[in-house]
Structures are given as structure tokens and as C-alpha cells.
Chains A and B, each alone.
Chain A
Amino acid sequence: MKSLRAYAFAYLAFLYLPVLFLPLFSFNNSHFIAFPLSGFTLEWYRQLFADDAMLHALGNSLEVGAVTALLATLLGLMAAKAVTQYRLRGVGAMLGFISLPLFIPDIVLGLSLLLLLGVIGFPLSLAGVVLGHLTLCIPFAITVLIARFEGFDRNLEEVSADLGEGPWMTFWRVSFPLILPGIAASLLLTFITSFDEFLLAYFLSGTEATLPVYIWGQLRFPERLPMVLALGALILVASVALVILAEWARNRGVEKKSIGA
């Protein structure tokens, strides 16, 4: 249907266009984020990379993101394996409960975690941010990995055992390579989630800022806006690249499945 097709493309434009203004104006030679355009410049990018505070926050974000991704994926792996292998009862309810943080408004989550850390005497720091991000990222990791495990032919492990391999080697030689695309996807997606996350980091980070918190702090200074746009543009490009990579990894596994199944 022609009109539906036109609608679909218009919808896609609505999704993407507003965000595309960020990179557009990051190259604009003007302090004002307005039309008409004033010529091309890389000044804002230059300023960006000269900003120590920004670079420091970037480092923090990378650190938090990496740690969160690793821990979430590891815990997700264990959970996914337990769920699919042992057919535990009440799995649905447990998964629903674990996914709860995705449904609670982030401010409520942030504040309750803030309270918790205060009560147990945990200092407000990047470690606290990691804890907060884990509550958001673990459900993602579990979802991706369970999907991977379900598509996994149980017979393959049995064949390996039948041919003489012990449990550890079976895992290393058979299970692990087949699950690897799922692990890669989980790592990438949880990293992006953590990297982009603002509110929990805002409440839980104390004096060390992550990149989104840093951006938030800059928003009240109009003269710094173009630089923030430059930063935003770079983050967008990186996120998109990582997502495409993650989707590729997740679906590459699907084709491979036909060899095993």
C-alpha cells in the first residue's frame, strides 16, 4: 500500500532527524545553534579534546562500562545456563522479578539505591555506579544469553562426552564457541547501556563524573553548547557502530546454528 509505505519512511525520518541535528551543528561555525548555517569548522572538536575534565569523565565511563559489561555478562551467563539446563520451576516469575528495574522509573531506582548505599555505608563512587548499572544490564544480558542457549542443540554436548571429553573441555571446545556470538552481543549491549546511562550515575557517582553526568553539568553554560554537540555527535556514531556490531554478532550465531542443529 503506497500511503503506508510513505508513512513508514516519514516515521523513520521522525525517529532519526532530530538526532541528526546534533552532528550537523557540531560542525557549524557559530555559538548559536540556529539556522542559517555559518560555515564549517572543527573548532568545537578541537576544544573538546583539549578539555581535561571531559577526557577524565570519558575514562570513567569507559571503566564503568567495561566492568559493568563483564560482570553483567558473567552473571547473565550463569543464570542463563542454570535456567535452560536445569529447567527450574518458577523461572518465569524470577525472570520477571529480575527485569523489574526496567519497569521502575529510574529516579525511584536511583534514589532507593542511594538510600541503600547510605545505610550500609558504601561510599558514593564509580563502584556504586557499577552496582546501579548492573541492575539495569543484567536483565538485558540474561535475555540475550537465554535466547542463545535455547537455540543450542543439547545433543552436541552429549556427543562430545560420548567421544571422550570431560565437562570442562566439552564446554571449551563445543559450548563456548557456539555461545560466543551471544556473549559478544551481551558485552556490547550492556556496555552501551552503561555508557549512555545518566540518572543512576548522577545519583550514585559522588565526585567522579561519568560522561553523561559531565554533559549534564555543561548544559547550563550556553557557550559550551557547541562543544557538547560535538561530544554528542561522537557518542552517537560510536553507539550506532557498536549496536550494528552487536546485531551482526547476535545474528551471525543464528546462521551457524544450522550447522550444529
Chain B
Amino acid sequence: MALALAAPLALLALYSLTATTGPVLEGGASLAQYAEALGRAGYRALFWRSLGISALVTAVTVMLAYPMAYFVAFHAGRAKFAWLIALTIPFWTSYLLRVFAWKIILGYGGVINSALLSLHLISQPLGALLYNPFAVVLTLAHAWAAFAILPIYVSLEKIDRSLLEAATDLGDGPVRRFLRLTLPLSMPGVIGAAILIFVPTTGDYVTPTLVGGPDGAMIANLIAVEFERVGNWPLGAALALASMAMVGVTAALFVAAARTAARAVR
């Protein structure tokens, strides 16, 4: 089973290292594809935009999810189980449909605009809702919301309640206690959630295609173009692996930074 995964990725790597620009593996080994992938300014801009959008999505999603997870862990009482189910269900519905829902909501003639128009709150439809990075961030944040909750909830749930009482006993009010005790102890869950969201969203294809427009295009769109339309498989492969490497490095840097920050809190 492990081999079954190594093979496709190895093949991708192989393609990325060939000199030719067609669908067939031939010619000698070369780093030309990577030079092209990282060399062109347009490509680099797209890399940065993808990382930026993902980082924003991650930040927004995690920050919105934390209070929700906190509520379920500390204030939900008997209804805890029901809340967890209610929060998990959207995770299992079709991702494609969820993105599509935002497309019809944000469109020029879509749900939001028509609602605002018929309520006479605006006189012209808002064009800036769709086909831009804003739409991509909003859609992705919504799609990945459920993913953020579970890791954060688990780490909050694991906190020994007597620790919270000890902190109170030693003089901490609720806010101080949260910042000095609860937050640091839940950091592993927060970091886990962040990685869980950041890594896959940089390479997302469906959302930028449906709601991104040219301004909201991400690296996956470029990779798809190279494979489908241009037929330059080696370049596409190089782009794919380069983006994965970048994402990996960014994620590792983030984890290191977060851990250091958490350690500084006393």
C-alpha cells in the first residue's frame, strides 16, 4: 500500500526532471523545468498569491473555529455530542456543491445581490463579490470550517479541568487564565488545524476555477493548464512539486514559530 503511493509521486518527480516539454518521457535528466517554473515572474507571482490566499484562509478559518470549539468543549454540557455531529455533517457533503453554492450566492445576478436589490438596500448589483481573491477566500474558509473545529476541540477537551481551577486559585481572572493556560495548552490542536487547512488549500483547483476568475487564479489552475491545454507535462510536474515543496517549507516554518511563541508564555 505504501508502495502504491510512492510510485505516482516518484513518476511525477521523474517527469519534472526531464528536459522535454511533451507528454512522453524522453530526453535526458535536467532541471530546466524547475528553472522555468521558478524563473518566470508570472509563475512566481502565482505561487505567492496561492500561499497568501491559503494563509489568509487558514488564519480566518482557525480564528473563527476556535471560539466554536471552545464553546463545545466547555459550555455545551450534555449537548456536546449533538453539537459535534451537527458540526461534522457539512464536512461530508459534496465539496463541489458547496463551492457551487457560493457561486450562485455571490454572483452578479445571484442570491445576495438580488436580495439586497429587492430590499432596496442597493440600486446596482455589487460586482466585486465574485471572480476575485475575496470570493476564493470566503468560499475556502466556508468549505474548510469543519476541518478546523475537530483538532482544536480535541486539544481543548484534553485539558485537565483541575488545572483551570488551580490557575483561578492562584489569582488569574478568566481572561488571564485563558491567555496563560488554556491557549498554550490548546496550541497543538491549533497548529494541527492550521496545517490541515493550509497544505491542501494552496493546491485547490475547484474553488479558484468556479469563483476565482482571472484575478483569483491559483497555482492549481496553472498546473492544469500546462497538462490539459499546453500538454507540457514535465513543466506541470515541476510546478506541482515546486508548489508542494514551498507549502511544506512554509508549514514547517509556521510550526516552529508557533512552538517558540507558545513556549514564551508564562
- Report A's interface with B, CB cutoff 8 A: 1, 4-5, 7-8, 11-12, 14-16, 18-19, 21-22, 25, 32-36, 75, 79, 94, 97-98, 100-109, 111-116, 118-119, 135, 138, 189, 192-193, 195-196, 198-199, 212, 215-216, 219, 225, 228-229, 232, 235-236, 239-240, 242-244, 247
Contact = CB atoms under 8 A, between A and B. Distances in A.
Nearest to A248: B85
Contacts of B89: 240, 243-244
A94 B142 contact: no
A119 B11 contact: yes
Contacts of B210: 219
Chain A contact residues, majority secondary structure: helix
Q: Which residue, B85, B205, B227, has most C-beta atoms of chain A within 10 A?
A: B205
Contact of A1 (B75, B92, B236): B75
A21 B12 contact: no
B96 A19 contact: no
A106 B93 contact: no
Contact of A111 (B100, B104, B105, B223): B223
A25 B87 contact: no
Interface stretch (B29-37, B107-115, B155-163, B256-264): B107-115
A35 B114 contact: yes
Contact of A135 (B5, B25, B114, B203): B5
B225 to A, nearest CB: 11
A116 to B, nearest CB: 4
B93 A239 contact: yes
B237 A199 contact: no
**Shortest 8 CB-CB contacts between residues of A and residues of B:** A105-B203, A34-B114, A112-B8, A196-B94, A35-B114, A112-B12, A8-B71, A116-B8
A243 B202 CA distance: 28
Given A98-B2, A111-B12, A112-B8, A18 B224 contact: no
Interface of B: 1-2, 4-5, 7-9, 11-12, 15, 23, 25, 64, 67-68, 70-72, 75, 83, 85-90, 92-98, 100-102, 104-105, 107, 109-111, 113-115, 117-118, 142, 145-146, 196, 199-200, 202-206, 210, 220, 223-224, 227, 233, 236-237, 240-241, 243-244, 247
Contacts of B98: 18-19
Given A34-B113, A105-B244, A115-B237, 9 more contacts: A18-B98, A33-B104, A104-B203, A108-B244, A116-B7, A195-B94, A219-B100, A232-B101, A240-B93
B8 A12 contact: no
Contacts of A97: 2, 5
A7 B202 contact: no
Contacts of B220: 105, 107
A243 B146 contact: no
Nearest to B224: A107
16 contacts: A8-B72, A8-B83, A19-B90, A21-B104, A22-B104, A33-B110, A36-B118, A98-B5, A105-B199, A112-B12, A196-B96, A196-B97, A198-B94, A239-B93, A240-B89, A243-B92
B96 to A, nearest CB: 5
Contacts of B102: 18
A198 B95 CA distance: 8
Given A107-B205, A107-B223, A111-B236, A25 B95 contact: no
B28 to A, nearest CB: 18
Contact of A14 (B142, B200, B241): B142
A108 B92 contact: no
B11 A115 contact: yes
Nearest to B86: A12
A14 B145 CA distance: 10
Given A105-B203, A192-B92, A196-B96, A15 B5 contact: no
Q: Which residue, A97, A103, A111, A198, has most C-beta atoms of chain B within 10 A?
A: A111
A81 B94 CA distance: 31
A21 B93 CA distance: 14
Q: Which residue, A103, A113, A115, has most C-beta atoms of chain B within 10 A?
A: A115
Given A34-B111, A198-B96, A247-B85, A108 B203 contact: yes
Contacts of A116: 7-8, 11
